Amino acid sequence: MSNDDCLFCKIANKQITSNIVYEDEQIIAFKDIAPHMPVHIVLIPKLHIHGLNEITNESSVIVAHIVMMTKVLAIKFNIDTSGYRLISNCGHDAGQSVQHLHFHLLGGALMTNHFA
């Protein structure tokens, strides 16, 4: 299922070119076009899920898969031991700019802003 107007659905469907670093049947991961860190990977489900609030019991399996693949990508990009952050924004006030569930994998440099 996809949304015809969704940027990330277009990336998942290969209608828009991206720098893909991982892909399988359920998810795709690509380098962010405006990275905030030396390593900035965006992980998305191929299934259109609007955001965190729309995760269902069925789609939670895909989200778990994304989290598991984060470790694999952290190893691939050599940030597994130095540390990394996995972020998902939910809604306008949190900064969700694309209305398709996605996670940002960030690392490769010391992060100066800490969250308790």
Active site residues: 102
Cα(32)–Cα(4) distance, integer angstroms = 21
- Alpha-carbon distance of 46 to 53, in angstroms, equals 17
The partner residues of 42 in beta bridges, in order of sequence, read 30, 104
- Note whether 29 and 12 are within 8 A (CB): no
